[in-house]
Amino acid sequence: MVTAAGHEHDMIARRGLMLVLSSPSGAGKTTLSRKLLQADPMVDLSISATTRKQRPGEIAAEHYHFVDNASFDRMVANDELLEWAQVFGNRYGTPRAPVRCNVDRR
């Protein structure tokens, strides 16, 4: 492939695009993600796993996959997370299987 600037590049098979929304609580991640989901039927939402306690009004498997520390440890050990981090004493991570499944079905 030759770009408009005349440079040759190998073709890269695009399997999808991952967009990560990350910001402090209350900054608008939910509003933005809802708008993206409404605007494009090809966009899917990945539900994160967390060790933090479920808050009032949160729905398991809709807002987060709420898991205990031992389950999170197993997920890490079994390479079931694309990424994970500890934030304010709780862990959050992106489960690999749903993301992989959504990419493969396209």
Provide CATH code, domain 29-104.
Answer: 3.30.63.10
As beta bridge partners, residue 91 has 86
Angle at 46 between CA 44 and CA 47, to 5 degrees: 135
Q: How far is CA 85 from CA 11, 46, 47, 76, 94, in A?
A: 33, 16, 15, 11, 10
Domain locations in the chain as residue ranges: 29-104
HSE value, Cβ hemisphere, 13 Å, CA-based, for 65: 16
What is the pLDDT tens value at each position of the chain, 106 positions in all? Answer: 445 555 555 566 656 777 888 888 889 998 999 999 999 988 888 899 999 999 999 999 999 999 999 999 999 999 999 999 999 999 999 999 988 776 555 5
Taking the alpha carbons at both ends of the chain, their separation in whole angstroms is 24
Collapsed DSSP state (helix, strand, coil) of residue 105: coil
Structure tokens at 29: 């991640």
